[in-house]
Amino acid sequence: MKSLIGDKKFYRMVLIVCIPIVIQNGFTNLASLLDNIMIGQLGTLSMSGVSISNQLFQVFNVSVFGAMSGAGIFLAQFYGRGNRDGVHNCFRIKMLLGILISILAICIFKVLGPSLISLYLNDNPTDSLTTLNFGKQYMDVMLIGLIPFELDTCGIGEEKDLSEYDLIFLGGGADKEQISLIPDLLSRKENIKKAMDEKSFVLLICGGYQLFGQYYIAANNEKISGLQFYDYYTDTGKAGSRCIGNVVIDANLDGLKTRIVGFENHGGQTLNVTHPLGKVVKGCGNSFNAGYEGFYDGKILGTYLHGPLLPKNPEVADFVISKALQKRNPDFKYSDLKPLEDKFEKMAREAVFKKLEI
């Protein structure tokens, strides 16, 4: 019987694959539901217009899901065989398919949107026109989210000139995964330095922040060489101790004084930091009782703050954008960015401040 239905390991693997897909689709459908609930407060006609537009966007979602799933099957096979080139090629194909489908959808909805919405309308002319206008307005807003932006990844062994990019991001991970990419990262040292010298801005989170220093000591006490761009280094916490919890720091980003909130979870204790990102108000920071968190020198912004850094700190997000834009537009200033509504971001920050009694 066991040979027919499989063992626990098999079902565990299936759940690991299935649950993220279920969650993703759940969020997609939840977003549409919340749109209908909020718009419904404006009246039946407005809700009808939004519902019709969402039906049309559902066709787009199904098309993207089908294209991504097809390429994903091959990607999984290549991954199972340990074929990195195959995985990289499949990932590129998935990105290209997503961009092409998005461009096609934008063109169709922009040109034929009103006609497609009208196919659902058969009420009296006045109500139909009102519903059509609501549906078209909602569709125009939603189309903004379909506009592809230029995002590129760099896998192990890929040839890339990083100096061509305005913004470079390096995150972190578990020691095992980080150690596997160290040789490739070190081989790019000169190219990364060239990118920094040519004003590409670098955003580093956790492990990425550590790797720009002299070295870091892994949990198994193995010493891992960093890129050695800066004098700081990272030791490991004693007896497996970690810095975990909400963090609040006061930072000065080129004259922009801002309070940054986030969540830290790191065993590494980063020491000898000469240009900290900010002074700790609550939490640990670079190490236990360090008093300061992160690193910033105008070229890179390194921090242990996850939780997440940019959505909870709109001023930091705008600052990173402005630094990236300055590579090709040296005269661009932070103040040149058009202000956006930060209501929900501010609510998230206030919730952290309230919890920490700040």
Q: From the CB of residue 172, how many other CB atoms can be counted at a distance below 10 Å?
A: 19
Amino acid identity, position 330: P
Q: From the CB of residue 194, how many other CB atoms can be counted at a distance below 10 Å?
A: 14
Candidates 206, 243, 266, 284; catalytic one = 206
- Concerning whether 88 is annotated as a catalytic residue, the answer is no
Backbone φ and ψ of 215, nearest 5°: -170, 170
- Concerning whether 284 is annotated as a catalytic residue, the answer is no
Tokens of 67: 């294209």
In degrees, rounded to 5, the angle at the alpha carbon of residue 322 between the alpha carbons of residues 318 and 328 is 155
Mapping DSSP onto H, E and C, the string for the chain reads CHHHHCCHHHHHHHHHHHHHHHHHHHHHHHHHHHHHHHHHCCCHHHHHHHHHHHHHHHHHHHHHHHHHHHHHHHHHHHHHHCCHHHHHHHHHHHHHHHHHHHHHHHHHHHHHHHHHHHCCCCCCHHHHHHHHHHHHHHHHHHHHCCCCCCCCCCCCCCCCCHHHCCEEEECCCCHHHHHHHHHHHHHCHHHHHHHHHCCCEEEEECHHHHHCCCEEECCCCCEEECCCCCCCEEEECHHHCCEEEEEEEEEEECCEEEEEEEEEEECEEEECCCCCCEEEEECCCCCCCCCEECEECCCEEEECCECCHHHHCHHHHHHHHHHHHCCCCCCCCHHHCCCCCCHHHHHHHHHHHHHCCC
Amino acid identity, position 35: D
Question: Computed over its alpha carbons, how large is the radius of gyration of the chain?
Answer: 24
- Residues acting as catalytic residues: 206, 306
